[in-house]
Chains A and B, each alone.
Chain A
Amino acid sequence: MRPITPTTTASAAVADASRLVAFALRPKRRPARDETYAELTRRYRDDGGFAELVNAVCLGLDLVVLDVDDRHGLVAASTADSVFAVRMTDYARRTSGEGKTAERVLHALAHLGAATLAYPRPADLASPAYVGRVTVNGVEAFVREATRRLGEAAAEAGENVDPPADTPNLEAAWRVYQRRAASPGSGDGRRVSSSTIGMVSKALGFLADQGLLIRRSDQDGGTYATTSRYRVQVAEAGSRMFAELLALGITEVTDGTGTLTQIEWTQLDVSHIMTAKPTSSPEVGVAHV
């Protein structure tokens, strides 16, 4: 590691600022483990001029500084046209083009589902101390349950949920998800990547590679804990998506108490579940209101 040179010239300061951005591009690096990173993080906080330089470097790279903290260092998010943006077509093959909208939506839903289960209540997303925990089976079951409810509601309202034959893209997202099998057998016990379980598994594995989740165990298809960096990213992603939905005319206003709540179990339910499923998935304590 090169030592930090004192800011005798403007170029030295720019080099330091870029170095901090370079750290941000390696999300598994942490200030706690790297003296230089820690020093640069402190400098960002204390030195307004330096912070401005870092922001300027980010601006040139089409990045946005989301947060700077001792726990995770600098968190920078890519904007849509940044060279650093994760593209869906790179993330999952066969997702580009007109006819592949359904694939894209399913992959993105896996990510959104994971974030929702990681931060079930608004307060969790707001608290830096909260550590969420998600499992592959849990996320899949959670999203599927949400689709089931929407399906029930649609059936009750007597809607015709079948899309017009010539415009398959008008099919509702919940229906696309519901039609996709959770985990079809591949014959040799491997996960099928096009199943929803496969997609969620890919999503969580990818987030762990990106340093946003930490893999804890193999239970329930893979158990992960969240990092403070992921919280910052999800909060940002959520507000961006909310703005997009707003443009579509969708405005859901909540009172901030959250719509997921713990449900009360009776002895009967428990004995039923216990006999039906020896290793119950962890999200059973959460229900939709």
Chain B
Amino acid sequence: MGLDATRGHPPETGWVAGAPNDTAAVDADDELGGFLVDEAVMSAGFAQRVKALATTAPLHDLDARKGQVQISDYTVYQMAELALHAIDLVTIAMDFDTGAKPETVLRDLVDRVAAQAPGRTAEEHQRVAEWVVENLLNVGSADRGFRAIYGTSGPNGYDRRSFDFKLLEETSGPDGELYLRASNEAVNVLVGALEVDLEAAHIAADVRLETLIKRGRLSEAQAAAQNARYRTIQYGELLRQRLEATSRDVRNVDWAEAMPEFLNEAREHITGRYKAENAILVNLTKARDDADTTTRKVQAARLVEIVSECLRRHDQLQSGLQAAGRRFRAEQDRQTFTPGPTRSALDLHAQLLRPALALPIADVDIALLTFFTSASGVSVPHALRLADFFEGLITPPAERDSLGDIIEDPDIEFDDEPARFPQASYDHLESLLDLDPEAPQRLSGLLADARERQTDDPEAEDLPLLVLVRVLAWAAQEIGAARRHHEASVLMAVDDGTVLDDSEFAGSDLLVARAEILQNERPNPLAAQPADGEDAARIAPMASIKNVAIRHDSEENIA
């Protein structure tokens, strides 16, 4: 360990290659700096490709090196795959505030290790998992990173540069616990993408996902959805890093121009993503419900899950963005008005250890003891109270039953939740909604009726609200179940566009009717497709009912 940083790609043989041009005036890292010529663009692109290649090198290096581990034979394990799994586990578990818990990652990774070599001992599986994670962290090297040397050809000849990157990182969270985080490069390795503009990549991922779903290619859509999720995580990580740098020192981040611009971009980005992902979600849900085979249903369900997860992460990002400005101001106050202890960074090795070792022990004794005393924390002496001490001494040790104390049965009182509406209201509801199939009613009429009944019978509390809740439920009425149970009719509510004019509630004035169900035997009772003309006429409004229901949930002011 500790060697992999440079071992995998020594400068002589490593990631060194010439760009196919000689006139590149701008180097890859300064591509934003100024004037871009075609060759420079090519050169920048070339450098990006070389870098993308380099980030995968540590993974291949694991496989190359597994044979050299002598404690046991690691050659049966596919280390690069395990490393990808590890990065995957960390990335998915990464949250806006904290990273992945090392124990959880290791535990999950051990399962994958075990799957590769079920014959080996659990202890070895554990060791292999630890080996992989530690190598991704690159624990041995001083800066815990990897380095690749690459070069581009410019007017001044061949120009060698070093590219430093990390894959996994160990950081301590706000609660002082240790967490793992995956770096930007690691996520890029995961999606197999080149170094790209994040936002463009994100939009591309969404467009791709939508197209694939529309064409019904679910297995490809699933891969695309996973990519979209990685992009979302990457975006959050970017924001988190900037905020963290701010909390260290507000001057680390340009809050005058660059950061507000970034925040605006991020907000616009999220708005766009919300629209896109919600649209995808609707399409997907439809795909899931219409799926004809189990595999497709499962695939669609999994996609729904991934996209919902993306939306959840956007929520998180959004609240992070909203808090960003506040956090900046708080940090600015804190850092401006509290004069922090300004210690110049000390080089422990050159300034303390080496001089200390060179001195005679008689001289260095005091200095070293000073270090020892202040670096080893505090020891708390016992404050002894004699009365307690004696009592402790003379108290005989408590006899304990080997089975422990008798467990008492807890008294459990069943506390029923009181009904929201009194029984009287339900009785009125029954009679109120016993509609004639031939005479549909408007919601406004029902509400007026309910209010009248309420004035007559003071017991029927909140009757109008109960009517509204029930009618709204009908707006989302499923007729499939009623058909299966061979019921004669079903109550339903349909929106015909009339606006409800009411003092308490707002929304559409729904048309409430008892619809007759015509029992036509069809091969698939689940499919709500009309079979004949008359049935079509009765059920036609159903197609739009789903949307109506959603709209009402948001428009109607319940309680």
Contact = CB atoms under 8 A, between A and B. Distances in A.
A242 B362 CA distance: 17
A245 B178 contact: no
A9 B334 CA distance: 28
A126 B244 CA distance: 15
A12 interface: no
Given A71-B176, A169-B360, A225-B178, A116 B373 contact: no
A207 to B, nearest CB: 7
A240 B370 contact: yes
B142 interface: yes
A115 B348 contact: yes
B355 A233 contact: no
A101 B361 contact: yes
A235 B340 CA distance: 14
Interface stretch (B167-175, B286-294, B462-470): B167-175
Contacts of A33: 175
Most chain B CB atoms below 10 A, which of A112, A133, A150, A256? A112
Interface residues on A, range: 35 or more
A235 B3 contact: no
Interface string B152-180: 00000000000000000011101111100
B68 to A, nearest CB: 5
B356 to A, nearest CB: 6
A258 B349 contact: yes
B349 A120 contact: yes
A13 interface: no
B140 interface: yes
B1 interface: yes
A170 to B, nearest CB: 5
A233 B357 contact: no
Contact of A113 (B2, B353, B362): B353
Contact of B2 (A214, A233, A282): A282
Given A72-B176, A217-B130, A252-B354, A85 B378 contact: yes
B372 A173 contact: no
Interface string A255-288: 0101111101111001001100011101111101
B374 interface: yes
Contacts of A25: 378, 380
Interface in B194-246: 244
A270 B347 contact: no
Contacts of A82: 378
A121 B350 CA distance: 10
Nearest to B127: A219
A285 B356 contact: no
B402 interface: no
A252 B378 contact: no
A283 B140 contact: yes
A116 B172 contact: no
A245 B352 contact: yes
Interface stretch (A103-111, A181-189, A190-198): A103-111
B386 interface: no
A31 B171 CA distance: 18
A122 interface: yes
Contacts, number: 297
Contacts of A121: 142-143, 347
B370 A129 contact: no
B345 A102 contact: no
A230 B368 CA distance: 17
Contacts of A212: 376-377
A88 interface: yes
Interface residues on B, range: 35 or more
A125 B176 contact: no
A45 B143 CA distance: 33
A88 B374 contact: no
B72 to A, nearest CB: 10
B13 to A, nearest CB: 9
Nearest to A151: B357
A169 B376 CA distance: 25
B366 interface: yes
Given A146-B357, A173-B357, A238 B176 contact: no
B345 A122 contact: yes
A172 interface: yes
B171 A85 contact: no
A284 B378 contact: no
A211 B363 contact: no
A59 interface: no
Contact of B139 (A133, A146, A267): A133
21 contacts: A31-B175, A88-B373, A101-B362, A104-B365, A104-B368, A109-B356, A109-B357, A109-B368, A113-B353, A115-B375, A121-B347, A143-B353, A143-B357, A173-B364, A230-B375, A237-B371, A242-B352, A245-B355, A259-B350, A284-B3, A285-B140
Interface of A: 24-27, 30-33, 45, 63, 66-67, 70-72, 76-78, 80, 82-88, 90-91, 101-102, 104-105, 107-109, 111-113, 115-116, 119-123, 125-129, 131, 133, 143, 146-147, 150, 163, 167, 169-174, 176-177, 206-207, 210-212, 214, 217, 219, 225, 227-228, 230, 233-242, 244-245, 248, 250, 252, 254, 256, 258-262, 264-267, 270, 273-274, 278-280, 282-286, 288
- The 4 closest A-B CB pairs, nearest first, are A32-B175, A278-B70, A169-B362, A108-B368
Given A86-B377, A228-B176, A274-B68, 4 more contacts: A25-B378, A131-B178, A172-B360, A173-B358
